[in-house]
Amino acid sequence: MRLINSLLYDILVFIEGHEGRGPYKMPEKLGDYTIEQVNYHIRMCEKAGFIEPGRSKIGLTGYPSYFELGELTWEGHQEIHRRRNGK
């Protein structure tokens, strides 16, 4: 799957907006992205160290049917700051 940088940013901003109220679930749909794209990009955020690993439940499709997202890490906060400041 192709990495969509705007989706990575949308996920980080979603988590930032819900910080301290977790665990929280990612919405079924985020913008015009498919659930498969959202699930993939959540995993990429975890692998990049932007968010703490969360929990997921695998559905019938083989993809997670939901994610309980982890908190933003220091790197996740820094990534949001870099993008907001155009760096």
Q: What is the pLDDT of residue 54?
A: 74
Return per-residue pLDDT of the chain as tens, 87 residues: 899 999 999 989 988 887 665 556 666 667 788 878 888 888 899 999 999 887 665 555 665 555 677 889 999 999 999 999 987
Q: Determine the pLDDT at residue 20.
A: 63
pTM, two decimals, is: 0.78
**Are residues 11 and 37 in contact, defined by beta-carbon separation less than 8 angstroms?**
no
Domains by residue range for the chain, with CATH: 5-84 (1.10.10.10)
